[in-house]
Amino acid sequence: MEFFETVRVRRSVRAYTEEDVPGEVIERALDAALLAPNSSNMQTWGFYWVRSPREKALLVQACMSQGAARTARELIVVVAEPRRWKENRDEMLRKLTANQAPAFALDYYSKLIPFTYGFRWLSPVKWLLFNVAGWFRPMVRRPWSGRDIEEVSIKSAALASENFMLAISAQGFSTCPMEGFDESRVRRLLKLTRADRVVMVISVGRENPSRGIWGPQIRFPREKFIKQV
Amino acid sequence: MEFFETVRVRRSVRAYTEEDVPGEVIERALDAALLAPNSSNMQTWGFYWVRSPREKALLVQACMSQGAARTARELIVVVAEPRRWKENRDEMLRKLTANQAPAFALDYYSKLIPFTYGFRWLSPVKWLLFNVAGWFRPMVRRPWSGRDIEEVSIKSAALASENFMLAISAQGFSTCPMEGFDESRVRRLLKLTRADRVVMVISVGRENPSRGIWGPQIRFPREKFIKQV
Interface check A99 vs B, CB under 8 A: yes
| Cα A84 to Cα A80, A153, B33, B184, distances in angstroms | 9, 10, 29, 29
Chain A nearest-CA residue for B62: A138
Cα of A34 to nearest chain B Cα, Å: 8
Q: What is the C-alpha separation between B150 and B142, in angstroms, rounded? A: 11
Residues in chain A with CB shorter than 8 Å from the CB of B92 are 218
pLDDT at B214 over 90: no
Question: Which chain A residues contact residue B147 at CB under 8 A?
Answer: 147
Q: Does A9 touch chain B (CB under 8 A)?
A: no
Q: Is the pLDDT of residue B68 over 90?
A: yes
CB < 8 Å to A113, chain B: none
Task: Give B215's pLDDT tier (boundaries 50, 70, 90).
Answer: confident
Which pLDDT score, from 0 to 100, does residue B136 have?
96
CB contact under 8 A, B34 and A155: no
pLDDT in tens, B78-109: 999 999 999 999 999 999 999 888 899 999 99
Query: Which residue ranges in chain A fall short of pLDDT 50?
Result: none
The pLDDT, as a whole number, for residue B70 is 97
- Judged by a CB distance cut-off of 8 A, whether residue B179 touches chain A is yes
SS (HEC) of chain B:
CEHHHHHHHCCECCCECCCCCCHHHHHHHHHHHCCCCCHHHCCCEEEEEECCHHHHHHHHHHCCCCHHHHCCCEEEEEEECHHHHHHHHHHHHHHHHHCCCCHHHHHHHHHHHHHHHCCHHHHHHHHHHHHHHHHHCCCCCCCCCHHHHHHHHHHHHHHHHHHHHHHHHHCCCEEEEECCCCHHHHHHHCCCCCCCEEEEEEEEECECCCCCCCCCCCCCCHHHCEEEC
Q: Tell me what pLDDT residue A17 has.
A: 97
Report in angstroms the alpha-carbon separations of B101 from A124, A177, A216, B92, B132: 49, 21, 11, 11, 33
CB pair distance less than 8 Å for B219 and A43: yes
pLDDT tens per residue, range B141-188: 999 999 999 999 999 999 999 999 999 999 999 999 999 999 999 999
The model's pLDDT over B112-150, given as tens digits with 9 standing for 90+, comes to 999 999 999 999 999 999 999 999 999 999 999 999 999
Of the CATH numbers 3.10.580.10, 3.40.50.2000, 3.40.109.10, 2.40.37.10, which one belongs to the domain with range B3-81+147-208? 3.40.109.10
> pTM (2 decimals)?
0.97
Rounded Cα distance, B75 and A219, in Å: 24
Cβ-Cβ contacts under 8 Å between A and B: the total is 219
Domain A1-212 has CATH 3.40.50.720: no
Share of chain B above pLDDT 90, in %: 97
Model ipTM over 0.90: yes
Cβ of A228 within 8 Å of Cβ of B49? The answer is yes
Distance (Å) from the C-alpha of residue A32 to the closest C-alpha of chain B? 7
